[in-house]
Structure 1
Amino acid sequence: MSSRTGRRAERDAGKAPVPADRGRAAARRSPGTASRAPGDGTASADRRPTAAEPPGGARAWAVWGTAVVVYFMAMFHRNGMSAAALMAQERFDAGATLLSMLPVLQLVVYVAFQIPGGVLADRLGPRGSLLIGLGAMVGGSALFAVAPTIQVAIAGRVLIGFGDALVFLNVIRLGALWFPRREYAVVSALTGLVGGLGQVASVAPLSALLRGVGWTPTFLAASGVTALLVVLVLLLVRDRPAGFPAPGRAERISVRASIGEALRERGPRVGMAHHAVAMTPFTMLAVLWGYPLLERGAGLDPGTAGMLFTAAALAPMVLVPFLARLTGARPGLRKPLALTLAWTVSLGWLAVVAWPGGLPPLWATATVIVVSAAGAVIAPSVSFDYARDGMPAQRTGVAAALVNMSGFGTVVLATTAAGALLDAQGGPTGGPAFQVAFVPLVAMALTAAAVLTVLLRRYPRRTADGG
């Protein structure tokens, strides 16, 4: 089969999936055809027929489990500024706009490295990429711990952002390389759930540590725990199951061509729109403004604010594995789930900012935060599943990177705009100030929800067997 024919077949397979039993029968009828590495979609010199998909099983869960612990720690580092925001403001004598630069520059680096990170995931492999990311986070957290000035602290957060950029894509990549497609939604959702637990650990527990042992010991300890994960990745993580050939002979195209290829397919564009609306509000709260919103906006004491934010993040997590397994078994549910999440989250925040006389009652604000947390932890199982539709399997890294860029680019804009608007009003002085500050977030969420609705009109259904 020529390379051009092979590429056309891969694209067609993404748009009109072939049932797994028919694919296996074709493989048996054509033993002389170059085999394709399951999960990679790459040509191999090995002409022995291989299984159509990775087998999954205990070894796959061990590999993914190690990688997802790395993601947990990356989320802890990424979102630690929410609990540390007010202490950082005092430590570095910084206003709201300058303070927002700590997480925002970290996220800018994170977003900027999504495409290079996606290319690295496709070419170097998940294991090597995770090791590079861990090394950067170890150094960044240590630098942040001992930073004497805001400028040095920002440098530490930039290093963390670079390391963080290499983690999630490779955890998702390992899920695609080690598990069959029918289990991918569950693995993606569990990845989001573990990330949500990392967010939780960065609020109340981190706040308690900061108050108990202080700034430097807390963040040095986080650096040390991250260093231990380097050893675990070296020992346990492998790029693909034994017997599945490496993608050494896969055709490589330019980064520009990879981006164009992904943007021409509707699946990645749907994933981008969904990620922008479903994960942005809670992520913005987690990286910086959630804790101040509850403490300064709703008037709660620090301990209660931390516990409430933690409970709001934990509450929806029990539903995530169930919903993911349901969508994995019944792919037709992706569309209603995506639209329901998008409009519920965006309209919920519209109600918060439009509530007359200040923030809504605490129960209503907490409900919107819980719904947003549900959107953030469910978003990966939907957004990244859509991102694979129509894409050659060996180039899903770039499509996933675009989806992640869309979500976190929106987070950067919303977080920065909130800081600027708070400063313009004299700081985070109360509920009305936060209502004004969150108007840009609501505008972006409503826009993304509308784009998602248009893109999902007449979207082809995916079968449980196929891509």
Structure 2
Amino acid sequence: MSQVVDVRHRGAYAVWIVALMVYLLAVFHRSSLAVAGLAAAERFDISAAQLATFTMLQLLVYAAMQIPVGLLVDRFGPRRVLLTGALTLTAAQVGFAFADTYVLALVARFFVGMGDAMTFICVLRLVNTWFAPRRIPLISQLTGMVGQLGGALAAVPMTIALGQLGWTRSYLIAASIGIVLSLALVVVVRDAPGTRSVTGPAMSMGHIRATLAASWRQPGTRLGFWTHFSTQFSATTLALLWGYPFFVQGEGLSDHTAGLLLTLMVAVMVVAGPVLGLIIPRHPWHRSTIVLGIIGSIVAVWSAVLAWPGTAPLWLLALLVVVAGVGGPASMIGFDIGRTSNPSDRMASATGIINQGGFIASLVLVVAIGLVLDWRTPGGGSDYTPAAFRWAMSFQYLLWALGITQIWRYRVRTRRKIMDEEPEAYGRVRL
């Protein structure tokens, strides 16, 4: 019997690792424009607002695809949807490598967002299928942690590649990795033990609407959504586009130091993910309290950086990327809240709804920063001043105010629902 269990575990970890590598590659492609922002502005001769449009479009597609992808996974299984995402990402990055006009580059980033959207939900579904329930929170955090290493691979190495190899060859090399992982996915990944592909029943539009409405009515789903919304956008915006220009032009750092700060932020995500994965299952009643504490620390450090006279010292900027980095894995708490608030037949739709939160906030912030930079930069161009960056980064306070208000609102409703409908469960959770 122990041999059977061991074989099952080896199969589970093999499936998870290959799927995880596809997710890591998706994060790499998503983040690759962060260190290439200034090069892209020069290559395509575009303004800050136009540069932000790349990331805006990518995030918009990602957010819009979350619920459809969840439904596709229910219908066709995670393996086929994940393979489609990997191939889409590969083709999109090849197109981005050869793009020589702004319009062609926009089309390529559109498909980067589409392929990216097909990865994370699929990996979570495979984790929920292959691992025991008691291991799911930790494996889910590890998934987010390892996936964020894609951001590190898109920082210093991509900076070096762009400097040594140029735009086209750098992006072609990155795209080629997708071919290898797609082959590994076909060979190794299965939807369930003993089953290569699982096909669900066809769903009518009426059934889809009813499922989504039921998931959204659940206050735990909304609490998960606003948790994801409020914790992720600061780190995502720094990693995807504006961190590198902010550190170089706004704070006067060298290219190398800016890349190291972005790498440090990813390293913090790697460490913080497992720690939260161990803490959260032990304190389920206080998940939203932990989230509010993390958001408060991010707001406090950003306030110190923006209020510092002149350029902020390096130690404070390092502290900024540390607290912002913790916000990345903290967003995973939203999925755990959704998991414990919805029945299994609504899990995919609830996950899709929650996963939209952080990316909607990031989308709004990326665009707002670009618009404010153009507004506050005398004479236009891409020589942004520290003052312009202070104005632009201050837009975050509007999103934090909205997110904290909604977290508090739905935390009260979620707790009241548990107390009214499941008093015994309420007592166990409180203990």
Cα distance between partner residues in 2 of 1:352 and 1:266: 35
SS at match of 1:346: helix
**1:444 corresponds to which letter in structure 2?**
L
Cα distance between partner residues in 2 of 1:140 and 1:364: 37
SS at match of 1:83: coil
1:217 aligns with 2:165: no
1:315 aligns with 2:301: no
Cα pair distance change 1:131/1:244, threshold 3 Å? closer
For residue 359 of structure 1, report the CA deviation from its aligned partner: 5.1
Cα distance between partner residues in 2 of 1:277 and 1:368: 16
Cα distance between partner residues in 2 of 1:244 and 1:138: 23
TM-score w.r.t. structure 1 length?
A: 0.82
Which of the numbers 424, 435, 442 marks the counterpart of 2:397? 442
1:158 aligns with 2:110: yes
Further displaced range: 440-449 or 323-332: 323-332
Contact 1:204 1:307 in 2 (8 A): yes
Cα pair distance change 1:445/1:128, threshold 3 Å? same
For residue 300 of structure 1, report the CA deviation from its aligned partner: 0.8
Cα distance between partner residues in 2 of 1:80 and 1:145: 12
2:74 aligned residue: 122
1:421 aligned residue: 372
Cα pair distance change 1:338/1:180, threshold 3 Å? farther
1:175 aligned residue: 127
For residue 121 of structure 1, report the CA deviation from its aligned partner: 1.4
Which of the numbers 237, 253, 266 marks the counterpart of 1:284? 237
Cα pair distance change 1:464/1:407, threshold 3 Å? farther
**Deviations for 1:256-290, whole angstroms, at most 9, x for unmatched residues?**
22221111112211110111111110001111000
For residue 325 of structure 1, report the CA deviation from its aligned partner: 2.2
| Alignment root-mean-square deviation, CA | 2.4
Contact 1:331 1:464 in 2 (8 A): no
1:348 aligns with 2:301: yes
Cα distance between partner residues in 1 of 2:234 and 2:400: 8
Cα distance between partner residues in 1 of 2:169 and 2:326: 32
Which of the numbers 291, 298, 304 marks the counterpart of 1:338? 291
1:361 aligned residue: 313
Contact 1:330 1:464 in 2 (8 A): no
**2:410 corresponds to which letter in structure 1?**
L
For residue 358 of structure 1, report the CA deviation from its aligned partner: 4.8
Cα distance between partner residues in 2 of 1:115 and 1:229: 25
1:6 aligned residue: none
TM-score w.r.t. structure 2 length?
A: 0.89
1:262 aligned residue: 215
Further displaced range: 314-323 or 206-215: 314-323
For residue 107 of structure 1, report the CA deviation from its aligned partner: 1.1
Cα distance between partner residues in 2 of 1:56 and 1:329: 27
Which of the numbers 328, 336, 348 marks the counterpart of 1:385? 336
**1:326 corresponds to which letter in structure 2?**
I
Contact 1:113 1:165 in 2 (8 A): yes
**1:161 corresponds to which letter in structure 2?**
G
Which of the numbers 351, 354, 361 marks the counterpart of 1:403? 354
Cα distance between partner residues in 1 of 2:52 and 2:309: 26
1:99 aligns with 2:73: no
Further displaced range: 208-217 or 333-342: 333-342
**2:355 corresponds to which letter in structure 1?**
N
Cα distance between partner residues in 1 of 2:428 and 2:30: 34
**2:337 corresponds to which letter in structure 1?**
Y
Unpaired segments ≥5 residues, structure 2: 1-6, 419-424
For residue 329 of structure 1, report the CA deviation from its aligned partner: 4.4
Cα distance between partner residues in 2 of 1:463 and 1:169: 32
Cα pair distance change 1:155/1:463, threshold 3 Å? farther
Which of the numbers 239, 264, 280 marks the counterpart of 1:327? 280
Cα distance between partner residues in 1 of 2:8 and 2:283: 19
Contact 2:79 2:197 in 1 (8 A): no
1:293 aligns with 2:246: yes
For residue 343 of structure 1, report the CA deviation from its aligned partner: 2.4
Cα distance between partner residues in 2 of 1:258 and 1:79: 33
Further displaced range: 184-193 or 360-369: 360-369
Cα pair distance change 1:238/1:299, threshold 3 Å? same
Of all paired residues, the percent bearing the same amino acid is 33
